[in-house]
Amino acid sequence: MGARIFLRSNGKDSLFRIYLNRLIRATQGDSLLLCSGYISDIPSMQQDIAESIKVGCAPSGTVILLAGKFAQSTSEELGIDWEARFNNFASFLKGELSSTGINLKVMVAPNRNWHAKIALKVSGTTPVIALLGSSNLTGPAYLAGIKAWNYESDTLLWDEDITGSGILNSPASSDDVELDMVVRPGSNRTEKTEMNKLYKIIMGLPLETLKDDEE
């Protein structure tokens, strides 16, 4: 198993953007679990992700979109209606995928308090690639060439027995931290068992599916 850790330290480009789209487009797996705390309805980001889904989840995969940090107190504190932005993003994806055969499920935590940032490319019910970290689907984490950027750190995990090195398309740069993950001697845990455990935990939570009139 391989792992690569990114730290965004400038506004020039976003490795989160690059590797999120590579994960979604990867030929290994046909479905996607995409989780974020906050999601912005930024046109270029929406289009990027929609086009990646059309490639990586065709012809009949499932996309589960899960967010977000929508508690009323949070919206009032920040002065931003994050639920409306999430609904706009979900509606855009629904329109883009409506004629593709790809199924979209839009979900939220019952108390509108989801804040985990997780992307899993899934084959059947088995995750094969994971991207975990601090980056929300918002401009300061996703966009390139911007002044209002955030320091963010994300970790990409992949099983080279399944994916090979194709998801990376490039060696680690001097700014990346790249590791070989080693399972403790005698342990029966592997990258497959742990990604699968994470996926099952999320899918077993008491989440709510948003109806069309709520999106």
Q: 90-108 pLDDT, tens per residue?
A: 999 999 999 999 999 999 9
The percent of residues in the chain predicted with pLDDT above 90, rounded, is: 60
Residues 6+ apart with CB under 8 A from 190: 1, 183
The predicted pLDDT at position 72 comes to 58
The predicted pLDDT at position 110 comes to 87
* CATH of 2-214 among 3.30.460.80, 1.10.3720.10, 3.30.870.10, 3.10.20.30: 3.30.870.10
- 134 falls in which pLDDT band (50, 70, 90)? very high
Alpha helices in 9-138 (DSSP H): 15-25, 43-56, 72-78, 82-97
The predicted pLDDT at position 23 comes to 94
Domain segments of the chain: what residues? Answer: 2-214
For residue range 49-97, what is the model confidence (pLDDT) as tens digits? Answer: 999 999 999 999 999 999 977 765 555 666 788 889 999 999 999 999 9
Cα separation of 7 and 36, whole Å?
18
Residues 6+ apart with CB under 8 A from 89: 39, 40, 41, 46, 65, 137
Residues 6+ apart with CB under 8 A from 148: 11, 139, 140
| Residue reference for tokens 């990114």 | 6
pLDDT of 156 > 70? The answer is yes
Burial status of residue 195 (CB atoms within 10 A of its CB: 0-12, 13-18, 19 or more): buried
pLDDT of 3 > 90? The answer is no
More confident residue, 39 or 158: 39
pLDDT of 140 > 70? The answer is yes
Cα separation of 204 and 10, whole Å?
38
- 183 falls in which pLDDT band (50, 70, 90)? low
- 5 falls in which pLDDT band (50, 70, 90)? confident
Under 8 Å between Cβ of 127 and 196: yes
Residues 6+ apart with CB under 8 A from 118: 33, 35, 130, 131, 132, 198, 202
Q: What is the pTM of this model?
A: 0.87
